[in-house]
Structure 1
Amino acid sequence: MEQHISVKKTITAYRDGEFYREEDNIVSEVPLTIFVNKKEFATMVCSPLHYKEMVVGFLASEGVILFKSDIHSIEIDEDKGFAYVQLNKKLQKDHSFYSKRVIGSCCGKSRQFYFQNDSVTAKISMSTASVTAEQCLHLMGQMQRNSHVFKKTGGVHNAAICTPHHIIVDRADIGRHNALDKLYGHCLLNNISVKDKILVFSGRLSSEVLTKSSKIGIGLVLSKSAPTDLAIKLAEDLNITAVGFIRGSSFNVYSHSYRITQNKKGEISNEFMQH
Structure 2
Amino acid sequence: MMKIEEIDAINFKNGKPTDTKEKVVKDETITLTINGNISRSMSAIEDSLKEFAVGYLVNENMVKSLKDIKSIEIDETKINVEIDDTLLKTNETVLCSDSAGGWRSKIKEVNPVESDFQVSVLELIDRIEELKDNAEIWQATGGTHVAGIVFEDKFVVKEDVSRHVAVDKVIGYGILNGFDLNNSYVIYSGRMPADMVIKMTRAGVPILASNAAPANSGYNIAKKGNITLVGFLRGQRCNIYNNQNRILF
Letter of the 2:63 counterpart: I
Letter of the 1:247 counterpart: R
Letter of the 1:201 counterpart: Y
Letter of the 1:126 counterpart: E
Count of residues in Structure 1 that have an aligned counterpart in Structure 2: 244
Equivalent residue for 1:139? Answer: 127
Extract unaligned runs of 5+ from structure 1: 102-111, 263-275
Equivalent residue for 2:16? Answer: 18
1:63-93 deviation digits (Å, cap 9, x = unpaired): 2222222223221111xx2112133545636
Alignment of 1:219-230 (within 5 A): 219-230=206-217
Give 1:256 shift.
1.4
Equivalent residue for 1:60? Answer: 58
Letter of the 1:114 counterpart: S
Letter of the 1:119 counterpart: K
TM-score relative to the length of structure 2: 0.88
1:83 and 2:71 equivalent? Answer: no
Extract unaligned runs of 5+ from structure 2: 98-102
Contact 1:36 1:91 in 2 (8 A): no
Q: Distance in 2 between matches of 1:128 and 1:259?
A: 7
Distance of aligned partners of 1:195 and 1:91 in 2 relative to their CA distance in 1, 3 Å threshold? closer
Equivalent residue for 1:33? Answer: 31
1:241 and 2:228 equivalent? Answer: yes
Letter of the 1:153 counterpart: T
Equivalent residue for 1:161? Answer: 149
Alignment of 1:247-262 (within 5 A): 247-262=234-249
1:215 and 2:211 equivalent? Answer: no
1:143-163 deviation digits (Å, cap 9, x = unpaired): 111111111111111111114
Distance of aligned partners of 1:250 and 1:100 in 2 relative to their CA distance in 1, 3 Å threshold? closer
Contact 2:210 2:232 in 1 (8 A): yes
Q: Distance in 1 between matches of 2:40 and 2:150?
A: 29
Question: Secondary structure of the residue that 2:57 maps to in structure 1?
Answer: helix
User: Which is further off, 28-37 or 195-204?
Assistant: 28-37
Contact 1:123 1:217 in 2 (8 A): no
Aligned match for 1:198, one of 167, 170, 185: 185
Question: Secondary structure of the residue that 1:92 maps to in structure 2?
Answer: helix
Question: Secondary structure of the residue that 1:212 maps to in structure 2?
Answer: helix
Question: Secondary structure of the residue that 1:114 maps to in structure 2?
Answer: helix
Considering only aligned residues, what root-mean-square deviation do their CA atoms show, in Å?
2.4
Letter of the 1:178 counterpart: V
